[in-house]
Structure formats: structure tokens, C-alpha cells
Structure 1
């Protein structure tokens, strides 16, 4: 088996990454798998490592494993320079792990490595691997658009993601393996203090208005923020993004409607909408927070979301295969 490249974030999941990585190394040695491990040392380092790895000379496939959370994975996606050569595997260690949860990826290092090795053998036999869409977001003033695997969004969900990055509550909950509750707690906290904005959304099939928009989330996968199903029918295989939004709803009323969102019943509520398109342009009358896979991008007034169809080869099986 060709040597595997591994990017490791030992800080993901507030410490549990050390345990997962130690277990993974023992398994790799037991399976006699040759690998090179690259440990991240600072924010953004995974992007530089992925860029270096994916730019290696040659025409052979590059087998790359990410041991980390959704933030590390997003950095890696934004560092890959040659998606045609890279085959990506994920061993999750973060607190949210929305990427793995959405795609029903294995939860343990042993199960993950078993699936990754089987996919590598499949690839070397010339059989096609599981391939999924990615999303891309750009905004005014950005030097380079940002790729996302799960979602990118404006407003409430982005504000919550921004707060969660440095939340002491998240650190405490992670110790009890309850990190995903951080997002729900911060959502309730932020709902009554955030400002809404009037938005105009433009697609290739026309446009629509979102008055007093609370959030607009471009979903490549069904759920974000620790498993909240923002767009329950979103698929990473259809060449489209699902724009989930809430607008024209009083904040006090939205508080009582949150359970419907968590239960994936939001389409029954007036003011909650989901639209599917290859891309969306969103124009705001005042700045709102923007995120990509939970990573803060900026406070912006003009944003474009686009689907990158069948961009990523995965070293994992599609659910049901």
C-alpha cells in the first residue's frame, strides 16, 4: 500500500484528539501501514500542510487522512491544490463532527481505518470511489474564495459559530462529551441581541427578498452546529446547495419555533424557507457575520455561494454500499 499522508490536530475536541491519535498510531503500526504524520502547530497550518502534500510531484493518487474536527477539515479542504489526485479520509476528533455525522462516517479510529484501507485497495483496483460536492463562498473584499464541506452562512448561525470558536462553555461541555450543546445554548443567547438585515437573493432562476433576515445558511449537507438539521433534504451528490433561511419573524416568536428547526419541521412554519440551486448571491442592507464550516470569514454585505459538483474523492463508503 502506498505511503499515507496524515494531518493531525492534537488540539481538536479540547484534548480528546490526543487519545484518538494515540489509538490511531497503534492501529497503523499493527496493520503495518506506512505513513507520514504532519502535526498542526497553529491556526491555518493545516491549510499549508494540505497545500504542500497535494502539490507533491507525480501523477499517482495522494491518500490523505485528517485526524481532527470540522475546523481542521475545512482548513485542509482550502489547502488542497489538486482535487483530482487527492483521496481524503477522516478520523473525527472534534466536538461537533458535523461532516462525519452527516455522511454517517465511522466514529472510531478502528472502524475509520478499516474503511479507509478498503477504499484505498478499491481505488488501486481501478474502481470508482465515493465522490461528493463541496461548496464555495466568496464575499466583497476577500482575496480568495473559501471552500466548505458542510455549510456556509450569514446571520444567526454564523454569529453562533463565531462565539463558539472562543467559548468557555464549549470547553466545559467538551469535557463531558456534550460539546454539540454549545451551539444550541449560544443560539438562544444570541437570538435576542443580534440585528436582522433585509436581504435580496439572486439565482439563475430569478430572485426573492428576505425581509428582516435572521439567518441564511447555504447547506451542502443536511445539518450543522452539532447536528441541527437546517436543510434535512440537502444532498452532497446533486450538484446543488440548499439555502435555508428564516426571515420576517419576530425574535420572541423565533425562540418558540427553535424546536421545530431542531426537529427538522421548519418548512411548516411561515418565514422559514429552503431553496435549492447551483448557486446564490445574497445582497444585504447592513453587514452580517459570515462563516464557512464554522470558521469566521468576516462581517459582510455581499456574498456568493456556489456548488462545486463532484469535487472531493472520499476514502469512505457511501451509506448503504
Structure 2
């Protein structure tokens, strides 16, 4: 039976291609250093993970801790967003974009120690999240970036592929989608104003980066109560290839075909696009996205 002083841990042993798998016991030890009981949620699937997180939060745990990458964090967020439970992040994935944006130590053991110290001190930090409402009325939360352009199309292609495995599958998906690149008509509303356009890229950022450090929304701040929206108009294959290296530095926003906005509410629609947030599949467009200031109590 769980108690209100418990720390619940959602861990993904496959995160980061398993390179931190052996650290879980050390992470649990450090989380429990303050005397609170720690339990690891036994999740076999992504859906199971969300159910167990919801149950733990409903039972009144002091903290829910996600050990993994942005995908693991995304699952835990669905339960903890908008609740009094503290939220801890131990970065152990290939992409740890939210953790990097909010200043979580990159070393998993140090991150666990920081969470334990915050709990001992009764310290937390209110951090914004983005709330997505789908056409069916379902609600999803995300922490980093929503992709709704060429990058989302690549993710959708990669998820349908069974070969090759690993990063090469994503590389192949890029090549295949690049060959059929086309601009799409987007309906885009930003705080009620029409910014519809025809183009290849829409990203909505609560944090600056996605994909393990690509600074698609370089000025996004998860503490300002706003979302950053970055769009790109008609780009050919050559222009898109030339723009990609600039994503790491965030300098792509100086290109005249790229435009940035700040907003509290965004509505996006385009044919044939499925939105991805924190690297996870959300739903086909249209999507309504809003910034929820201080939606999570980050333990740091």
C-alpha cells in the first residue's frame, strides 16, 4: 500500500539505447536518501506507464520521477500536470531536451540527488507546460516542442517502418520524405489572429529544442507563460538541407523564409499531418495548443 510520502518512479530501461540501465538502483538509493519510500512502477507498455502514473498521483504520492528521455517524461506528465504532486526528471534518454532547458543536471545520479535535496528542503519550481486539445476533444500535455511540419511527417514515416532498426530508420525516413517534399496549406491562428500560410514547417515550443538539441524555437522559455511558434514557408529540398545544420545553433530563424511568434493560444490545421510532441505521436491536425503557466511543480 502506498503512502502520501512515497516517491513513485517511472523508468524506461530502453531509454538512451539502454546505456543507463545499470544505474536505476543507484538512482533509487539517492532518491530515498531523505527517508521517503521509493517505488518503481512496473510498466510493460507506454499505455500501462500512463495508467500507473495516474494511479500513483491519485493515491497522493509526494513526487513522481521520470527516469528516461523526453518520451518517458511525456508519459509521466499526463498524470502529474496540474496536480500538487512534485515532478522530478532524471535524464537518461537519447534526447533530454526538457531537462536541458530547465537546468536539470545531465548526470542521472546528480539529477536524482538534486530531486532528493529539493524534497528535503520543501523546494519546487513552477514550470509552464503546453496543453493540446485534439479534434476528438482529447487532452495531452507536452513539455518541449510540438512538431507539425516536415519533421512530424518524417516521424510518422519512421514509425510505420519495420526496417532498419535504430537511428538508420530515421535517416531513411528523412531521405524518403525529402524526395516527396511539398509545401502544404496551413490554417494557423495565433491568439485569434489569422497567420495562415503555405509552407513546410510549424513548431510550437514551450522549450527551445527537440530531437536531442536541435534549437527549433531558440527563444522559447518554459517560465514566461508563452509559447514560441516557428514557421517556414515554401522551401525546396536544397534549401531545407542547407537550413538543417543551423537548427543546432538556432540561427535558422534569421532566414527570411522563417518567421517566429509568441502566443498564449495556437490553432494549427493542415492536410495529411499528424502532430508529434516530445517525440511522441499526438493526433492528426487540427490541434489547439495553449500555454498553462506553472502547470507542473519541478523538483530541482
Spell out the pairing of 1:232-311 with structure 2 (5 A cutoff). Answer: 232-284=218-270, 286-300=271-285, 302-311=286-295
SS of 1:134 mapped into structure 2: strand
TM-score normalised over the length of structure 1:
0.83
Q: Helix, strand or coil: the match of 1:84?
A: coil
Alignment partners' CA distance in 1, 2:170 and 2:82: 31
| Structure-1 residue corresponding to 2:127 | 132
Aligned to 2:45: 42
1:68 and 1:91 in contact (8 A); partners too = yes
Distance 1:154 1:172, change over 3 A: closer
Mapped partners of 2:171, 2:260: distance in 1: 21
CA contact (8 A) 2:62 2:85 kept: yes
Return 5+ residue gaps in structure 1 as ranges. Answer: 174-181, 317-321
Q: Per-residue deviation at 1:312? A: 0.6
Q: Paired residue for 1:23?
A: 26
Deviations 1:182-229 (A, max 9, x none): 867754653332443111211235221221x21211100000011100
Contact 2:74 2:278 in 1 (8 A): yes
CA shift for structure 1 position 19: 1.6
Deviation at 1:20, TM superposition (A): 2.5
Paired residue secondary structure (1:291): strand
Aligned equivalents of 1:208, 1:195: Cα separation in 2: 19
- What secondary structure sits across from 1:222 in the alignment? coil
Query: Does 2:60 correspond to 1:65?
Result: no
CA shift for structure 1 position 106:
1.1
Contact 1:220/1:240 (8 A) holds in 2: yes
SS state at 1:136 partner:
strand
CA contact (8 A) 1:78 1:146 kept: yes
Q: Give the gaps of 5 or more residues in structure 2.
A: none
Q: Secondary structure at the match of 1:234?
A: coil
The question of 1:108 aligning with 2:107 is answered yes
The root-mean-square deviation of aligned C-alpha atoms, in Å, is: 2.6
